[in-house]
């Protein structure tokens, strides 16, 4: 059974400020229901960047066995494509329960939400909100109401083509729609 894995490797901020409390909101296709998407906040607590980080944070290092921030691990979709959106946010609160944000998104979704579940795509500790796929455009409106700084979103859509035959992991670097960029990787596990 072929599995795919998405990890966040590095985030860079292009603003003069040097202190950040960053977190991600990810929206990904549901692994078994094509009419649904799943949403999570990562990591459990915001990533605290200080002056010493120089507006950059690396989740993986050159050390043996080092990995990035796990977003998902699941079976390869039959069409070998997966749609994933990643949002980057900054909270001004030094301590922020990111589960609260997921609850706010769930409330904003109303009838388009099917509730929060665990252990859906390889991470038993990450709660996922299940929503109707048609409700994806609402996410931006809901996030705009949350008083955290928005660095925008990027599409991490992937088509697992022949390039994955030569190498099992491919790094991608993309710019958020705001003042930040992200390095993430898709990999195939046999």
Quick check: is 170 in a domain?
no
Strand-strand pairing, 158-159 and 84-90: unpaired
Mark 156-170 as b/e (b = at least 16 C-beta within 10 Å).
Answer: bebebeeebeeeeee
Looking at residue 111, its pLDDT comes to 93
Quick check: is 8 in a domain?
yes
Q: Which two tokens stand for residue 105?
A: 């998104």
Quick check: is 182 in a domain?
no
Total count of domains within the chain: 1
Quick check: is 171 in a domain?
no
Quickly state the pLDDT bin for 149 (edges 50, 70, 90).
very high
Quick check: is 104 in a domain?
yes
pLDDT digit string, tens, across residues 92-113: 876 667 778 888 899 999 999 9
Q: Which two tokens stand for residue 16?
A: 């003069």
Dihedral sign of CA atoms 115, 119, 120, 123 in order: positive
Average the pLDDT over 137-164 and give the result. 92
Range of the domain at 149: 3-160
């Amino acid at each position: 059974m072929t599995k795919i894995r998405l990890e966040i490797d590095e985030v860079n901020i292009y603003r003069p400020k040097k202190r950040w409390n960053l977190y991600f909101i990810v929206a990904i296709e549901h692994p078994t229901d094509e009419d649904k998407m799943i949403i999570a906040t990562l990591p459990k607590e915001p990533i605290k960047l200080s002056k010493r980080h120089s507006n950059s944070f690396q989740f993986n290092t050159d050390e043996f066995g080092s990995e990035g921030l796990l977003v998902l691990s699941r079976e390869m979709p039959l069409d070998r494509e997966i749609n994933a959106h990643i949002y980057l946010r900054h909270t001004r609160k030094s301590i922020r329960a990111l589960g609260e944000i997921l609850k706010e998104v769930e409330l904003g979704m109303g009838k388009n939400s099917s509730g929060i579940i665990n252990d859906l795509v390889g991470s038993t500790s990450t709660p996922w909100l299940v929503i109707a796929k048609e409700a994806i455009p609402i996410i931006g409106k809901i996030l705009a109401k949350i008083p955290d700084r928005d660095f925008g979103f990027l599409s991490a859509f992937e088509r697992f083509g022949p390039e994955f035959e030569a190498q099992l992991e491919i790094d991608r670097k993309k710019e958020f729609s705001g003042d930040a960029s992200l390095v993430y990787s898709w990999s195939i596990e046999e």
